[in-house]
Structure 1
Amino acid sequence: MVDSINVRLLTELHADPRLSMSELARRVGMSAPAVTERVQRLQRAGVITGFHMDVAPEALGMTVTAIVRVRPGPGQLPRVADTARATPNVVECHRITGEDCFLLKVHAPSMADLEEIIDRFVLLGQTTTSIVVSTPVPPRPLPIPQQT
């Protein structure tokens, strides 16, 4: 599915997901209809799962970022996932191995707001919270293996 042309398309879209199909076609030396068909095929195959906009949490007043690990109490595993889905400030929720079962990334306007969010999960099990002080490696696209 990911041949050398698709690698070039993915590389260009990683650099600028807002490229028009005609500009993308120009950059890879193909026609716009052919590029459009390839991009749509990559989407249907689940290679491209979406095009995203990133917003700085601070710009929305979310000045506190925390990583919360949750170890659910007996029978509470599904409720933790449901609570995470129902809490808009939880921007990531991962089911993990190890002592804890879930890893959440949470943005909040204040420590008091973070406390309220954590309290939703404390009812379901044990939590461990770490406050993010900096992000030396921000979210970035996956590396695209080059075809030889």
Structure 2
Amino acid sequence: MARYSARVADDPAPTLDRLDWRLLEQLQRDGRVSVAELARRVNLGPTATADRIRRLTDLGVIAGFRADLDLERVGYTVVAFVRLAYPSGNYRALHAELERTQELLECHHVTGDDCFVLKVAARSMRHLEEIAGRLATLGSVTTSVVYSSPLVSRVITQPQP
């Protein structure tokens, strides 16, 4: 029987042990790995492994599982970051645009001269121009097209003391 202290999903920093971190590292590398294979990789039984995954999900440490797409292979050949200087504190129009525009992949509220940084996937430069034009109705925009991405994402591992 696992000995975990009861914690809630809204705990900003649940306690993770070394085994939790090993599971998380493996899942970040391959989210489709079977529980049996994951258990083998971390030297734990399948039932205990499934229990830990469930616990990490319930705690909100594992936010979800998804497929990462190769955007170019699905027709989105242009990726860009759009910085938006939003003139007011009423973000309803921005949230509406985020809801209706599937090409807006990420949106981050940031410090500095710009209020938001958005990641955009477009089918062409003309398509990017249309999206940036709609965003420009909300405030001043600056667009940076991605040439390449030497680091797309990184596996987070256990912090060293």
Residues 7 and 143 from structure 1, CA distance in 2 versus in 1: closer, same or farther, beyond 3 angstroms?
Answer: closer
Scaled by the length of structure 1, the TM-score of the pair is: 0.90
- Which deviates more from structure 2 when the two are superposed, residues 33-42 or residues 84-93? 84-93
- Which deviates more from structure 2 when the two are superposed, residues 136-145 or residues 125-134? 136-145
Are the equivalent residues in 2 in contact too, given 1:25–1:31 (CA < 8 A)? yes
- The answer as to 2:124 corresponding to 1:113 is no
What one-letter code is carried by the residue in structure 2 that aligns with 1:78? Answer: R
Are the equivalent residues in 2 in contact too, given 1:90–1:106 (CA < 8 A)? yes
Aligned to 1:29: 43
TM alignment of 1:14-93, pairs within 5 A: 14-74=28-88, 76-93=90-107
Are the equivalent residues in 2 in contact too, given 1:10–1:144 (CA < 8 A)? no
- By how many angstroms is 1:75 displaced? 5.2
Aligned length: 147
- The answer as to 2:50 corresponding to 1:6 is no
- By how many angstroms is 1:94 displaced? 0.4
Instruction: Tell me how far apart the structure 1 counterparts of residues 42 and 149 of structure 2 sit (CA, whole Å).
Output: 34
- By how many angstroms is 1:81 displaced? 3.0
Q: Residue by residue, what CA displacement relative to the aligned partner does 1:61-115 show, whole Å, maximum 9, x if unpaired?
A: 1111111000112355332233123210010100111111100010101111111
Residues 22 and 80 from structure 1, CA distance in 2 versus in 1: closer, same or farther, beyond 3 angstroms?
Answer: same
2:159 match: secondary structure: coil
Identical residues among aligned pairs (%)? 43
- Which deviates more from structure 2 when the two are superposed, residues 31-40 or residues 3-12? 3-12
Aligned to 1:127: 141
Instruction: Tell me how far apart the structure 2 counterparts of residues 141 and 79 of structure 1 sit (CA, whole Å).
Output: 34
Are the equivalent residues in 1 in contact too, given 2:82–2:144 (CA < 8 A)? yes
Are the equivalent residues in 2 in contact too, given 1:76–1:124 (CA < 8 A)? no
Instruction: Tell me how far apart the structure 2 counterparts of residues 46 and 115 of structure 1 sit (CA, whole Å).
Output: 37
Runs of 5+ unmatched residues, structure 2: 1-14
